[in-house]
A and B are shown apart, each in its own frame.
Chain A
Amino acid sequence: MMEIFEEAASGITNRYITDWVNSGKKVIGYTCSFLPPEIFHAAGILPYRLRGITTESMEISDAYYGPYVCTFPKCLLQLAGEKKLSFLSGAVISTGCDAMRRLDECWRKTGEDYPGSIPDFFHYFDVPHKTDPHAIQWFENEIRKLIRKIETDYHVNITEENLKQSISLYNHGRMLLWEIEKQRSLKDAKISGTDAFSIAVAGTVMPREAFNDALEQLLPDLSRQKSNPANGNRRIMVAGSINDDIELIRLIENAGSTVVADNICFGIRSESDQVDMDDEPISALTRHYLSNSVCPRMFGAYRQRFDLLKAKIERAGVEGIILQNIRFCDLHGSENGLFERDFEKMGIPCLRLEREYGPLTETGRMKMRIEAFLERMA
């Protein structure tokens, strides 16, 4: 059963996307976990969380971004320039951080210079950095603007009923993912961190119906399965910058640990929170997606994020935290310093790890640090 998730998580495209596109249906890529994929689903469009893995060079994207910028948006731009994202009929860029916001301008320019590298539907979706009433109103307007644009450009009607059905389906997926989270955090975990992470990543690029069905089949298998004794493996939580590369988690586990929790964009963050089904759907989506201040892009919510990590540590019996960040990621780079200070004070060992996004070419360097960290905890 795991093969379905691994296959979907291991490349920028997968057989579900191929089948979807071959049947004449549309795919829209998006860049940020603050964007509700339910909107696309309600329009009959496959939401696809944009990924940059498998990028081998930066010769296109470096020309637009320069060398001293986070490699994640650069990998996306490189793939777009190489026309490897041509299965997309649309893309929505958000202001996750400054480097991601600039992807909007850089991709538009790349589209002029490399014909065919930008999809027809290209939209900028703004996300406020606060959760006060004015910001909530603003975010709701952004959602309504996006809905109108999809309706106009794709000639569809996103009804309240469709949105409610999509929310219900996504809520069910969140609940199933939370079950996976419970299984991985058991004393003798039933699923490795690498597998749990593969599932979470697959969920961002698979049709939700197929994802939920596959999880429904996997979960009973897991509970019947014998537990994997921890065998002295250290229980690690991985947090920090965006990651969709399962090899990073595998590298950490192969060094002699089990990743029993994570707090990474693409990972399992706060799936126990459900979108309110009793409220009017746009209002419910607005509140759900903006109030989850799990990312340091949100202003003034450090304490909330610290408490989220603390709750995960307690629930999963985490013994050490790997705080990784992509080079030049100012948001996670600085927040990791605060987490390190505060968690070390509580007696929880932390390792700060800087890395590049993309193919794990630095495995030797990272392995040495991870192994030394695990030795320190021994």
Chain B
Amino acid sequence: MSIVAGCDIGSLTAKAVIMENGRIISSALLRSKTNPQLSAEAVMKEALSKTALSMDNIQFFVGTGYGRKNISFVNQAISEIACHGKGARWLIPGARTIIDIGGQDCKAVRLDQDGNVVKFVANDKCASGTGRFLEVMARLLNISIEELGGLSSRSTAPIILSSTCTVWAQADIIKYINSGHKIEDIGAGVNSAMAKRAAILANSVGIEPDVCMTGGVAKNEGVVRDLEKLLGKNIKRTRKADPQIAGAIGAAIFAMEKVNGRSK
């Protein structure tokens, strides 16, 4: 019997997954706090509270995400590239190309037949093409991040953003709001700009089916559909678990392999 946990401490959210014998028995997702240790403690506490377990019952912890090296209870830290690959593969067994859009960066990862990372690209030091970009734009439109995804399907004439720079795009959006454009069309334009950025990365790693998305933006149906059009490929959806916790799932699977003797 193995009880393990994976913690993915990202720039915007902290995620934890507890697995027992390869099955998720609990998970949690919280807004990141001021330091990785606090985020990890809080998210693990939340995940544990849904079970009858305590920290002492966890046999092995794997940490991932930007804050992974600064969590005291982690037994091993593994990069989010490998963890998202692993997690995506668990969610969609045939996944070969993963587009992960998190709060701070956007990554495309190509896996081989056995799920090993063959190639990856990440956006460089820029908020456009990240979850942060969508958050800023949603705030400007005075809607929640969840509502933004649904706007694309209701739009009849999506606006075109002349720049995907988060700062400049804000100025564009304000111009559209002031000139009376419908919120659906502006939202659809934002989702489309996001999809274009992600498509560039996906094309750079070379796309192999099945394609899937992880990270919070995978829940934005507008971005996913636009991306499908741009790539000319179907993007597999998963109902097995929240795609936003894919990194934490991957971390927990690495932990499980460690306990079962199949260490990375």
Contacts and interface: CB of A to CB of B under 8 A. Distances in A.
- Our verdict on whether A and B bind, yes or no, reads yes
B117 to A, nearest CB: 4
Interface string A367-378: 011011001101
B66 interface: yes
Contact of A378 (B118, B122, B125, B264): B264
A357 to B, nearest CB: 13
A12 B242 CA distance: 51
Contacts of A372: 79-82, 117, 120
Chain B contact patch, size range? 10 to 19
A205 B79 CA distance: 38
A352 B121 CA distance: 8
A354 B204 CA distance: 15
Given A327-B124, A376-B117, A371 B79 contact: yes
B74 interface: no
Nearest to A376: B117
Contact of A376 (B80, B120, B122): B120
Contact of B79 (A352, A354, A364, A368): A368
A354 B119 CA distance: 16
B131 to A, nearest CB: 16
A375 B125 contact: no
B160 interface: no
Contacts of B118: 376
A354 B118 CA distance: 20
A364 B82 contact: no
B78 interface: yes
Contacts, number: 39
Nearest to B107: A372
Interface residues of A, number: 15
Nearest to B66: A364
Interface string B83-109: 000000000000000000000010000
B80 A368 contact: yes
Contacts of B120: 372, 376
A365 interface: yes
A307 interface: no
Nearest to B84: A372
Contact of A375 (B78, B121, B122): B78
A58 to B, nearest CB: 15
B81 A375 contact: yes
Interface in A249-293: none
Interface in B45-103: 66, 78-82
A369 B122 CA distance: 8
Contacts of B79: 368, 371-372, 375
Interface in B119-166: 119-122, 124-125
Contacts of A344: 119
A372 B66 CA distance: 12
Contacts of A369: 122
Q: Which 3 A-B pairs have the closest CB atoms?
A: A372-B81, A372-B79, A354-B124
Interface of A: 327, 344, 352, 354, 356, 362, 364-365, 368-369, 371-372, 375-376, 378
Given A327-B124, A352-B121, A376-B119, 4 more contacts: A368-B79, A371-B79, A372-B120, A376-B82
